[in-house]
Amino acid sequence: EYVLDPIDQQRRLQWFRAARFGMFIHWGLYAQLGRHEWVMQREQIPIPEYEKLAETWHPKPGFARAWARLAKRAGMRYMMLTSKHCEGFSLWDSTINPYNAARTGPGRDLVAEFVEAARNEGLKVGLYYSLMDWHHPDGARCFHDQAARRRMLDYTHGLVRELCNNYGKIDILWYDASWPLMTADGWESARM
């Protein structure tokens, strides 16, 4: 089991504190609706209706290069992209989550494009990952059902493993929305 070394943690965070300025990009299917990333939940859009957004989303080629150039020109030192928000749609070519950008409308790995563009501009790479998942059948059930909890943890850990293994070094992995398990122990974060 991993034990966090406070000295190592401070060393690893030093560059982030020194960078001070970066681009945080919240981007997913919800962008097509022109509202906010919680639109599915707040407006109670049924999953089958919301899923249709995946087939109609066609980000223009070169989007990541344009963002990275803008970040570099503005003096930013890193970029962060939402790899999966609470809606459950993965922006990468996942072998675990079929609800992803490579298998639907975009037809390509958007995380790969983002990572390559950021690195080409000399920027550190960050990926935002929402633990909460409204699309996964065990997303809410895992709070009360131990079998669902195990499936959700295996699913989540597998997706995070893909992000950490498929794109080289990831400088920042930003977890968000811990509901329904709420704690680091609940999500088995040390193991993850």
Q: What is the pLDDT of residues 144-184, one digit of tens each?
A: 999 999 999 999 999 999 999 999 999 999 999 899 999 99
The number of residues making up the chain comes to 192
Q: Is the pTM of this model over 0.75?
A: yes
Asked if 131 and 156 count as a contact pair (C-beta separation under 8 A), the reply is yes
User: Does pLDDT of 64 surpass 70?
Assistant: yes
- What's the pLDDT band for 12 if we cut at 50, 70, 90? confident
pLDDT of residue 190: 87
Q: Are strands 22-25 and 124-130 parallel, antiparallel or unpaired?
A: unpaired
pLDDT of residue 1: 57
Q: Is 115 helix (H, G, I), strand (E, B) or coil?
A: helix
Measured distance CA(65)–CA(59) in Å, rounded: 12
User: Does pLDDT of 55 surpass 90?
Assistant: yes
Percentage helix, strand, coil for the chain under 3-state DSSP, each rounded to 5? 40, 15, 45
